[in-house]
Structure 1
Amino acid sequence: MIRPCLSPRLVAAWRISRAHYSTSKTSEPLRILYCGTDDFSVASLRAVHQEHQRNPDLIDTLHVAHRPGKLGGRGNKILREAPIKSAAQQLGLDTHVIDTFTGWTPPTAFNLIIAVSFGLFVPPRILNAAKYGGLNVHPSLLPDLYGPAPLFHALLKGDKKTGVSVQTLHHAHFDRGTILEQTPYPGIDIPDPETCTPAQLSCHLAPIGASMLVDALRSRAFVPPLKEVEWYQSAELKGRRIRHAPKITKEDMHVDFKTWSSDRIIQLWDDTIYEKLCNQKDDGPKRIKIHKVSVAELDELESDIETIPEPFWSPLYGCVTHYTSDRKIICLESFTVQGHGQGKGNSFVLPRLKDHFKSMTTFKDE
């Protein structure tokens, strides 16, 4: 079941914050091919579909293109479908499975392409065939944090504010289009930036981006002449460094218990953590997935510890624990060891690693 991130309160706040304007631009009824994958793209799809039902003179048809499901889980036997597939089916929309545009011909004549968190570059052949080209919703204040992982990098870099941009699809590069809509200066506050996770930030921004996209459709912002609304490189901010937000790798998600605080570790783990676990009795490293963690304060006997030890089994908490740089304890309450029972990591670890681990390195799921 897809749970949309749409929040009426946030959408209302966005609409109040922006200046509404009328437009004399006109367009043919839109025949939209909507390309998306994740929950962030689902929010915009739902908003566009709602506008399609409310205003058929603006949007005539709406089709959805999505990536094929991927095998995962134990033994790569579980097929994981893109969240947007389920959402499109619930809305009764025609769908098209695309893993490459090479050799693919649209089944009908679309005059606007919308790509949100799609992951595939829409080639000039497809854009040129659409009278109005393409639009994209990007969760950052473009041109800053351009790239495939803006939410993660905003949190990793300690940003306090962020935003959403609606841009045209460029014929040669990702995130180089004309910015047609953008959250007002100085951006949107990241809620609880010290603990906010990428998933929480996505859910916070998704309804705002969905509303901005619908506004761009209503105002026909995609109809030439295009009006650039980018403020990030305005005179008052001239010279500010533009940052890239590349795809997240395992190295990006390496958790350093000696320098990271407990809040930062929990923030970036975001409930989808993998670790490599090694000990003297195992033949090699074991990958583990963390399902639940908690934070505990050091007691009086532990408060004078001068060095941060390796992860260890704690009889007090009944689970694997580790000290953090802010002198707290991370408790791995539930995790799964590769090749063993779901959530039974502590039961697996206890007889084997009760006293200590030889080494442990932490990674986030790709």
Structure 2
Amino acid sequence: MFVVRGAGTYGLCRHVIVSRWPASRLYSTKTYDPLRILFCGSDEFSIASLKALHAYHLKQPNRIASIDVVCRPGKRVGRGLKKIRQVPIKETAEALSLPIHEIDTFTGWTPPVTPNGPINLIIAVSFGLFVPPRILNSASYGGLNMHPSLLPDFRGPAPLHHTLLAGEKLTGVTLQTLHHKSFDHGTVLSQTPPPGFEIPNPDFCTVPELLNLVAPKGAQSLVDGIKDGLFVPPIQDAGWRANEATDNLRHASKIKPEDLHIDWANWTMLEINRRNRILGPVWSKALVTSNPSDGPLTFQQKRVILTETEEVEPPKGCDSLALVPGLPFANAPHPVEPKKGRALHVFTRDGKVLRINKMKVEGEPVADGLRAAIKARMFGDRSFQSEGVEFTAFRNPLV
């Protein structure tokens, strides 16, 4: 540190302490043995941390002696399950010439012993498997985890998705210890200073864009934590978010197909557009009829994926129709074939109009929204006329 002398009030001498480091790093670095790291990861967020650790290992081999990588085995995908899709981090580990261990469970598995000795620090970043106490206890420095949220808010496997779904404008990263019993309940060792960093264009931001923002910040925070030995006992809790509004903590649960199932009775246009942007094409269910030429008329509920939609102004006259949210309608009387200017629309809960440009009915290819609805025989015999324009309301609302 530097000491600066100057004239203070009433001519008294004053001392101003100026640090070389930011306020968040005013503590002294702890000493520790060269680290033999077992790094558990999977995706792009964990890849950024692995690359940063490897670069620090090359620069300071006296701090990080070795890095072994644990990842899940590849999964069979595609027609006939003939292709194997590898976990993304495996390719990175191979490129960095790091030892790789593919496991789908820690049961019966023991960490490797490196040429320099046994593993002494476990690091799990976006891994998915719970690291059991047996593994953590075998490492003299325990375990670390880098999480892309301001813990304890958005604990869980999908923090980026839920941060955007909640409409947050600020976020951050958290370095914590690995807890012996629960995910994301470790001691916070460092955290993005309050109030967090800004999410650029939060109303339009996608998960990949947010990932590109938080991944390097998380990687740097992890390396800084290694440099400063934050994992060396006695550990200090550096969390601040836990002291703020803990009654409103949100869980970042795994994203499921049902999270894209439109709740027409409760979702506004904003919510539908947000989920479509963050999670992918939303879907609903519709009642379709059998082909009369095939015999007696039957009804079947099928999933319809709204692959291309947009918010539009209500077609002239349709705003006077007493249509419930989720009930599709078209500006065409009893349509048999779609014609230019005709389109499939649906009201949302807040009275706005969603135009379905492309739609995939279960068992059919993606097609123009109105054409797909006609082919699936979703239309009925309810006809309305308003302001000289005739409309067809479809037989049943989407559910």
Aligned to 1:298: 314
Aligned to 1:64: 69
Matched residue SS, 2:37: strand
In the alignment, structure 1 residue 272 sits paired with structure 2 residue 280: yes
Pick which of 122-131 and 185-194 moved more: 185-194
Matched residue SS, 2:250: coil
In the alignment, structure 1 residue 205 sits paired with structure 2 residue 211: no
Aligned to 2:391: none
| Cα separation, partners in 2 of 1:291 and 1:59, compared to 1, 3 Å | farther
In the alignment, structure 1 residue 85 sits paired with structure 2 residue 85: no
Normalised TM-score (structure 1): 0.79
In the alignment, structure 1 residue 330 sits paired with structure 2 residue 354: yes
In the alignment, structure 1 residue 46 sits paired with structure 2 residue 51: yes
Matched residue SS, 2:242: coil
What are structure 2's unaligned runs of at least 5 residues? Answer: 1-20, 291-297, 332-337, 380-393
Q: Larger relative CO (CA 8 A, sep 6+): 1 or 2?
A: 1
Matched residue SS, 1:295: strand
Distance 1:52 1:283 in 2: 64
Checking the alignment, whether the CA contact within 8 Å between 2:326 and 2:398 is kept in structure 1 is: no
Pick which of 253-262 and 169-178 moved more: 253-262
Matched residue SS, 1:233: helix
Distance 1:90 1:290 in 2: 40
In the alignment, structure 1 residue 141 sits paired with structure 2 residue 165: no
Aligned to 2:131: 122
Aligned to 1:5: none
Q: What is the CA-CA distance between 1:93 and the residue it aligns to? A: 2.8
| Cα separation, partners in 2 of 1:271 and 1:171, compared to 1, 3 Å | closer
Q: What is the CA-CA distance between 1:186 and the residue it aligns to? A: 1.5
Q: How does 1:1-366 map to 2 (within 5 A)?
A: 19-21=24-26, 23-72=28-77, 79-108=84-113, 109-234=118-243, 237=244, 240-269=247-276, 270=278, 272-273=280-281, 275=283, 277-278=285-286, 279-281=288-290, 284-287=300-303, 291-307=307-323, 308-311=325-328, 315=338, 321-334=345-358, 338-339=362-363, 341=365, 343=366, 350-353=374-377, 355=379, 356=394, 358=396, 360-361=398-399
- CA RMSD across the alignment: 3.3
Distance 1:39 1:114 in 2: 15
Checking the alignment, whether the CA contact within 8 Å between 1:271 and 1:292 is kept in structure 2 is: no
Amino acid at match of 2:138: A
Normalised TM-score (structure 2): 0.73
| Cα separation, partners in 2 of 1:304 and 1:313, compared to 1, 3 Å | closer
Amino acid at match of 1:257: W
Checking the alignment, whether the CA contact within 8 Å between 1:35 and 1:64 is kept in structure 2 is: yes
More strand by share: 2
Distance 1:170 1:255 in 2: 36
Checking the alignment, whether the CA contact within 8 Å between 1:198 and 1:268 is kept in structure 2 is: no
Pick which of 22-31 and 286-295 moved more: 286-295
Distance 2:26 2:83 in 1: 49
What are structure 1's unaligned runs of at least 5 residues? Answer: 1-15, 362-366
